[in-house]
Amino acid sequence: MKGGKYLWRRRFFAHFFGIFLLFIVYLTQACSVSSNSAKDRPNVVLILIDALRPDKLGCYGFREHISPEIDELAGKGIKFRRVLSQCSWTTPSVGSLLTSLYPRTLGLYRRAGNEILNDRFTTLPEILKSHNYLTIGITANPNLNTNYNFQQGFDHYVDSDIVWDWMKPQSGQIKFSKTSHQLKSASEVFKTLLGILDKDKKRPFFGYLHLMDVHASTKTNIRPEFRSLFDEYGRDEERTYYRKVRQVSFDVGNFVQTLLAKPGSENTLIIILADHGEGLFDHPDVPNSGGHGYLLYDSEAKVPLIFYHPNSILKPRVIEQEVRLIDVMPTLLDYLKISRRPPDLVGKSLLPLVKGAKEKINLPKYFVAETRMNNLFKLAVYSKNYIYIENRQKYPEVNPRELQSRYRRQDGRRTDFINEHPEIAAAMEIFLKEWERKFPEGKITPSQKEASPETTEQLRSLGYIK
């Protein structure tokens, strides 16, 4: 009897030990699979060209020979024909892009200088870093410098070395001057990324590159070979903008070719997009229509979006369904087969469209964007045919409520259809009220230093205040 008791114990411990060994083997294999799957994932480079309008690219219908390099990438990849930003200026738009949350949820509203991206929001680079990506961010726009906490989740983050007056220069930084100091060029941004990749060999990598070459109100260098192009256009601002687009397309083409030729970078998904558009005085009867941030017309709200992944299973196509920048983050995570993500993401994955779905995916009936440049407050609702805009603060040459057609140039009261189609405006107004209830205004996270009175003229010259 006693011997049977000890035999039972020996059998129990032997059985337990066997199960324990199997568990260890399972964990080892799981870790190995996880590690291998991470290595098998593609690198990702997100090239954001600040203030780039899609209709000023050849692949989106511009008649001039302006962007052959970007056009080639679009022709070999996935081009989204209609894409809407969630704000018409940089800080709120990029915050939304990197979190898949609305700018109001993030508490990013008004002028640059006193609002930062709170740590409690999970960013795309944070998620990718947690899945063994090397994360690199390089910005030529000082509104995204570490002062504003946009470095969250990046292993390497390179600030703009030119800063605005309200920013305290760090080591190696100088204050912006329209007459002398220039922002970092696209070629410099690309060179910086390639240099980091030469030193840090970890793969896969994610690169976020924010280019300022096209941004109309800032001084960037136009090289001699591009300075005499587009002379037939009457306005200097328009000629300059087109020359910058031509130059940045050339630089993007060179960069992509160089990157893909580097060992370890062959399997790279390239994403080209913008944070907002540029008015370019397409709305002559409305003040402040030359730049961005003041209006929510298509010229300032629509952006390009191109996915290019050479040697992948993706087939070139044009996606006609209108989508949003807020959808990019969940789309990319699905593309990389990363299922863990914050539960409150607002954007929807566009992966079925990327993979060739013939049917439209389920997106909201209407899209919404807002801007609060300076003390301005505008909200807009977009359907296929119309834009319904509420000008919450009095604004010259526009009605408090507008209904603009998306099939013609929008120009304030002169093109306002609200009296002709009050029923359409009413339906969109109801949607907007429900949207505001669903997405209440979040609290601002202030920066440590507010803008000084001396920066007012600087902000005005950049178009950030009136």
Summarised one tens digit per residue, pLDDT across range 339-356 is 989 999 999 999 999 999
Domain containing 413 — which CATH number?
3.30.1120
Q: In angstroms, rounded to a whole number, what is the distance separating the alpha carbons of residues 61 and 55?
A: 6
Q: What is the pLDDT tens value at each position of the chain, 466 positions in all? A: 444 544 445 554 455 444 444 444 334 443 333 444 666 899 999 999 999 999 999 999 999 999 999 999 999 999 999 999 999 999 999 999 999 999 999 999 976 557 999 999 999 999 999 999 999 999 999 989 998 999 999 999 999 988 777 677 777 778 776 665 678 899 999 999 999 999 999 999 999 999 999 986 666 789 999 999 999 998 888 999 999 999 999 999 999 999 999 999 999 999 999 999 999 999 999 999 999 999 999 999 999 999 999 989 889 999 999 999 999 999 999 999 999 899 999 999 999 999 998 889 999 999 999 999 877 899 999 999 999 999 999 999 999 999 999 999 999 999 999 999 999 999 999 999 999 999 999 999 987 644 444 444 544 544 444 4
Q: Both tokens of residue 387?
A: 């834009």
**Same-domain status, 434 and 346:** no
- How far apart CA 167 and CA 379 sit, in angstroms, is 29
The three state secondary structure string of 155-204 is CEEECCCEECCCCCCCCCCEECCCCCCCCCCHHHHHHHHHHHHHHCCCCC
Domain co-membership, 187 together with 267: yes
In a domain, residue 260? The reply is: yes
**Strand-strand pairing, 401-405 and 386-391:** antiparallel
Residue 175: half-sphere exposure toward Cβ, Cα within 13 Å: 9
175 and 246 together in one domain: yes
Closest residue by Cα to residue 15 from 25, 7, 27: 7
Closest CA to 291 of 277, 303, 302: 277
Pairing of strands 78-80, 317-319: parallel
d(CA 234, CA 419): 35
Return d(Cα 148, Cα 95) in angstroms, integer. Answer: 10
Q: Is 225 helix (H, G, I), strand (E, B) or coil?
A: helix
Domain co-membership, 255 together with 387? no
Indicate whether 181 and 51 sit together in one domain: yes
Closest-CA residue to 383 (of 405, 398, 362, 416): 405
Which has the closest alpha carbon to 214: 195, 241, 237, 181? Answer: 241
Last residue of a domain, one of 328, 360, 392: 360
- Does residue 377 fall inside a structural domain? yes
Of 329, 360, 391, the domain-final residue = 360
Determine, yes or no, domain membership for 122: yes
335 and 427 both lie in a single domain? no
Cβ-Cβ contacts under 8 Å for 122 (sequence gap 6 or more): 99, 341, 342
129 burial via Cβ count (<10 Å: 0-12, 13-18, 19+): middle
Q: What CATH number is attached to the domain comprising 78?
A: 3.40.720.10
Q: Is residue 22 part of a domain?
A: no
Q: Do 215 and 331 reside in the same domain of the chain?
A: yes
Query: Does a structural domain hold residue 9?
Result: no
Among 307, 333, 360, give the residue marking a domain's end. Answer: 360
pLDDT of 180 reads: 59
- Check residue 65 and give its pLDDT: 95
First to last CA, the chain: 96
Q: What is the DSSP-derived secondary structure letter of residue 289?
A: -
Place of tokens 């998306």: 406
Q: Looking at the structure, tell me whether residues 348 and 378 fall in a common domain.
A: no
Instruction: Give the whole-angstrom CA distance, residue 38 versus residue 204.
Output: 7
> Residues 384, 319: one domain?
no
With 0-12 CB in 10 A as exposed, 13-18 as middle and 19+ as buried, what is 8? exposed
The count of structural domains within the chain is 2
103: left (phi over 0), alpha (psi -120 to 50) or beta: alpha
Question: For residue 262, what are the domain limits?
Answer: 42-360
Domain identity same for 164 and 62: yes
What is the C-alpha separation between 291 and 362, in angstroms, rounded? Answer: 33
State the Cα–Cα distance between residues 434 and 75, nearest whole angstrom.
39
Collect all residues with Cβ–Cβ distance below 8 Å to 51 and sequence separation of at least 6: 214, 215, 216, 274, 275, 276, 277, 278, 291, 292
Q: Which of 406, 403, 407, 408 is nearest to 427 (CA)?
A: 403
Q: Quick one: pLDDT at residue 114?
A: 76
What span, in angstroms and rounded, lies between the C-alpha atoms of 461 and 176? Answer: 11
For residues 210 and 82, state if they share a domain: yes
The answer to whether position 32 is within a domain reads no
User: How is residue 140 written in tokens?
Assistant: 């030529």
Angle, vertex CA 128, rays to CA 120 and CA 89, nearest 5:
60
pLDDT tens-place string over residues 411-452: 999 999 999 999 999 999 999 999 999 999 999 998 764 444
The answer to whether 325 and 84 have CB atoms below 8 angstroms apart is: yes
Residues facing 43 on adjacent strands:
268
Contact assessment for residue 106 and residue 178, using Cβ atoms and an 8 Å cutoff: no
* Whether residue 71 is found in the same domain as residue 95: yes
Note whether residue 35 is domain-resident. no
Phi and psi angles of residue 94, each rounded to the nearest 5 degrees, phi first: -70, -35
For strand 305-308 and strand 268-273, is the pairing parallel, antiparallel, or unpaired? antiparallel
225 assigned to some structural domain: yes
What stretches of 356-421 show up as alpha helix (H) in DSSP? Answer: none
